[in-house]
Structure 1
Amino acid sequence: MLNDLIPNFDDEIAQMHALAPTGWIMGFNLTYRGPEHLYNAYPEAWRKIYEDRNYFFGDPIAMWTMTHDGADRWSDVRIPDLRGVMSAAKKFKLNYGLAISRKVAGKRSFLTLSHPDREFTDEEIARCTAKFNLWTDMVLNRAALTAAELDVLRCFRDGQGQQDTATNLGIAESTVKQRAVKACAKLGAKSRTQAVAIAVARNYL
């Protein structure tokens, strides 16, 4: 499902693997049943131990993502590790890490990444945060498209050109063009046609 929602998904995943060589995980729209969308790239052996021991309920990083917005290095998280989750994680070289959390329309989403040898740099944190914010918008928030931008895409979907769209919506052609450009950027589309196709595929229209 995520590969349908996030453009260039395979390339994006490869970049995350390179950035977090010992593993990472992201989840969107967390509920009491778990995330609606989940991608777990942590080592299989660690995932098994984590699940078998129910570490989620004692994991300070998981707790941080449930109660904070923004980004923080694991080493800066001040929630007590009462069950020794982080010590157990180090046996799998999950020595350093980054936690990112965001709430969109009341829905909590998170991304955590690990590195065996060093802390994540400020530049990496900023890059990951920007990427994650974009992904949450795409997955949960209709790519942050405004109602006006969706109206323009809907007209394009119905076969209307720029001039007809402007007439039907009661706006200038330059405004139609501006909204189309913004919609393409938000959807990662190279053309209006591709933007419409993406929006239709994701049931935005």
Structure 2
Amino acid sequence: MSDKKAIAVLLERLDHLAPMGYTVGLHIRFATPLVYKSSYPVEWVDHYNSHSYYLRDPLVFWGVGVEGTTRWSAIPLPDPFGVMKKAASHGLNYGAVSSYGPITSRSIVGISRSDREFDDEELAHLRELTIQLHIEAKPPSDLTKAQIEALQCLANGDRHAAAAEKLGITESAFKARLQSARVRLEARTTSEAIRKAREYRLL
């Protein structure tokens, strides 16, 4: 099963766990997740994004600062902007959040329902799904120096011949480095490989 299919299956399981929807931010680096998905009500998502609540959300602060799983109601952080109250006005009355991974590549998953608190078994299930999503979305982190140099040359605008000359190798050797980088990044084209390398902060 490919990474994308595995993530889709896990999100489907998450959907069954969260009647009012979920939000998933995987491998958050420099305040930006590599994978982001939300199934919360569209009106709430639009309101949340238009007011940049992610900069003020106590759930995000908790998830960045603590690795674990808890109910929203158990989070002791202040909410001076009333984010949770506004969420409740859109039907997100109860919820849970799970955070996993190193602080440099943290994954945070939130789920919600309107009728009751999530029970301990559901929290354990959320924890399991968060860990699995984090693992399945793990970006490659071990491109060789030669692969990075080859991609960087093209990202800087060099053509193959010029890049090969700059690196002191033949053009066929240069192309071989690009091919191995594409395979490692699971990219169909060199342009896609460069885009992925940038997303993964490898360039």
Q: TM-score of the superposition, structure 2-length normalised?
A: 0.64
1:119 aligned onto 2:117 = yes
Distance in structure 1 (CA, Å) of the matches to 2:47 and 2:3 = 30
The alpha-carbon deviation at position 17 of structure 1 amounts to 1.9
SS at match of 1:140: coil
Distance in structure 2 (CA, Å) of the matches to 1:138 and 1:56 = 24
| Structure 1 residues 63 and 13, CA gap change in structure 2 (3 angstroms) | same
Counterpart residue number, 1:130: 128
Deviations 1:61-94 (A, max 9, x none): 1111111101010000000010010111011110
Q: Between the two proteins, what is the percent identity of the paired residues?
A: 28
1:90 aligned onto 2:84 = no
Please tell me whether the aligned partners of residues 7 and 136 of structure 2 are also in contact (alpha carbons under 8 angstroms): no
Counting matched residue pairs gives 144
The alpha-carbon deviation at position 53 of structure 1 amounts to 1.2
Letter in 2 for 1:111: V
Counterpart residue number, 1:40: 38
1:67 aligned onto 2:60 = no
Q: TM-score of the superposition, structure 1-length normalised?
A: 0.63
Counterpart residue number, 2:97: 99
In structure 1, the gaps of 5 or more residues are 143-199
Counterpart residue number, 1:20: 18
Distance in structure 2 (CA, Å) of the matches to 1:107 and 1:8 = 20
Please tell me whether the aligned partners of residues 27 and 109 of structure 1 are also in contact (alpha carbons under 8 angstroms): yes
RMSD of the TM alignment (CA)?
Answer: 2.3
Map residues 45-194 of structure 1 onto 2, 5 A cutoff. Answer: 45-104=43-102, 106-140=104-138
Counterpart residue number, 2:148: none
SS at match of 1:71: strand
- Structure 1 runs, 4 residues or longer, greater than 6 Å off: none
The alpha-carbon deviation at position 7 of structure 1 amounts to 4.4
Distance in structure 1 (CA, Å) of the matches to 2:132 and 2:123 = 14
Distance in structure 2 (CA, Å) of the matches to 1:107 and 1:46 = 26
Distance in structure 2 (CA, Å) of the matches to 1:135 and 1:12 = 7
Letter in 1 for 2:101: K
Deviations 1:139-192 (A, max 9, x none): 2177xxxxxxxxxxxxxxxxxxxxxxxxxxxxxxxxxxxxxxxxxxxxxxxxxx
